[in-house]
Amino acid sequence: MKIECIKTHHLRCHLEKPFGFSQWSYAQRNVLVIEIITDTGISGWGECYGPADVTQSAVSNFYAPRIIGSDALATNVIWQHMWRSSLDFARGGIMMGAMSGIDMALWDLKGKVLGLSVSELMGGRYRDVVPCYATGMYFQDLPENELLPLLVKEAKGYANEGFAAMKIKVGKNPNFDEKLIIAMREALPSTQLMADSNHAYDLPEAIKIGRVLDKQNYVWFEEPLSPEHGNLFKQLHEKLDLTIATGECEQTRFGFMKLIESGGVSLLQPDLAYCGGPSEALKIRTLASANGINCIPHVWGTMLNFAAATHFLASAYHEPGRAEPKSLFLEYDRTENPLRDELYDIAIEVQNGSARVPTTPGLGVKIDIQAMKQFDINNTETR
Ligand code: MG
């Protein structure tokens, strides 16, 4: 079975309510989705994390012509072929984001051909339902005394929907962050809370905020420091009790090996639409396991990436094993996103804060081609 055609779609939608985090704010959503079609007519879908217009060129102009005609089920062979073809100038970055979406589409395709779900392809499911944490509480352009109660109200809404865990954004400024961390804990005394700064702090600030999180019994502190300063994570870790999580900006087993070696990180967060795809995420998980660390994917974008992460966590063995292990919570972004909520005929079901793992072949989600047309601002086809 050979790859005959690769289609890409740059999808865009404008948001009713722009939202922000420590580095940027968004008034629109963009994503690149990829369809890989074989000579038998069966196709698989994947998505890329990163700037969709640039990634689209990397897929359609660079990688697609190099893998047309390849054995569609040979995921590792294709990955290695793509890697070697761009290694001299693209060991990571946007090109790896492009490879990730292609690899995801090939896993979806392989599952459909073999009649197996992606979690079965990954070695089998430990669980049929994966608990989720709600990601939200993004900043809005409001005075701080209005913003804080609004964020607390949003979090209470997720708790009422059944989420037992959720993640807030910090990194606006340390004074506001501290107030927010405490207000969230007071409002939700029994919820598992995490905080994500998106690398907003220097080391003294991260220590200060980390101590507040420790005192308020948060579960993890995400991207406290810049990914460029791996050596600082160890120094931070030595001052704090709580788990330090990072990895959404990192890629490949080689990148994660360096991250682990630099020390201080106790939870890895590869994004399956960016780290090198499901193939590479499994290698990163093996590396993490060999170092006694767990992996919980970063999830952004549409249902394809969410489905890939659902299968990845359904097939994850929590390190270390015990009678009642901690939960590996799946990231479920709750901010406005028509490309997640209005694009799919078949989506992942999330009820009471938990995602049901699809048992149908492939990723188990299906794009509504008609619905996609309203969002499609540029598409390509390579044969
Ligand atoms: Mg994050």
321-345 residue pLDDT tens = 899 988 899 999 999 999 999 999 9
Cα-flanking dihedrals φ and ψ of residue 300, to 5°?
A: -140, 165
- Report pLDDT for 339: 97
Which secondary-structure segment (H or E) carries 162?
Answer: none
- Report pLDDT for 327: 86
Residues marked active site are found at 298
Radius of gyration for the alpha carbons in the chain, expressed in angstroms and rounded:
20
Is residue 167 classed as helix, strand or coil in its secondary structure? Answer: strand
Give the distance (Å) from ligand 1 centre to CA of residue 369.
30
Q: How far is CA 197 from CA 155, 159, 200, 208, in A?
A: 17, 22, 5, 13
- Report pLDDT for 325: 87
Give the distance (Å) from ligand 1 centre to CA of residue 17.
20
Is residue 94 classed as helix, strand or coil in its secondary structure? Answer: helix
Contacts of 46 (CB under 8 A, 6+ apart): 33, 34, 36, 100, 101, 102, 103, 104, 105, 106, 107, 108, 273, 277, 304, 308
Give the distance (Å) from ligand 1 centre to CA of residue 169.
8
Contacts of 173 (CB under 8 A, 6+ apart): none
- Report pLDDT for 81: 98
Give the distance (Å) from ligand 1 centre to CA of residue 244.
12
Contact 276, 307 (CB under 8 A): no
Give the distance (Å) from ligand 1 centre to CA of residue 246.
7
- Report pLDDT for 30: 98
Give the distance (Å) from ligand 1 centre to CA of residue 134.
12
**CA 52, CA 254: separation in Å to the nearest integer?**
25
Token pair of 57, please? 């060129």
362, β-bridge pairs: 117
Give pLDDT < 70 ranges for the chain.
none
Contacts of 175 (CB under 8 A, 6+ apart): none
Contacts of 114 (CB under 8 A, 6+ apart): 73, 121, 361
Which secondary-structure segment (H or E) carries 42?
Answer: none
- What type of residue is 374? Q
Give the distance (Å) from ligand 1 centre to CA of residue 220.
11
Give the distance (Å) from ligand 1 centre to CA of residue 299.
9
Global confidence as pTM: 0.98
Give the distance (Å) from ligand 1 centre to CA of residue 1.
38
Contact 39, 91 (CB under 8 A): no
β-pairing, 129-135 vs 165-169, is parallel
Contact 197, 209 (CB under 8 A): yes
- Report pLDDT for 14: 97
Give the distance (Å) from ligand 1 centre to CA of residue 116.
31
Is residue 98 classed as helix, strand or coil in its secondary structure? Answer: helix
Quote the longest CA-to-CA distance of the chain.
60
190, β-bridge pairs: none
Q: How far is CA 369 from CA 9, 10, 49, 345, 353, in A?
A: 11, 13, 21, 9, 28
Token pair of 92, please? 């990571």
The DSSP code sequence of 206-239 is HHHHHHHHHHTT-SEEES-S-TT-HHHHHHHHHH
Cα-flanking dihedrals φ and ψ of residue 176, to 5°?
A: -65, -45
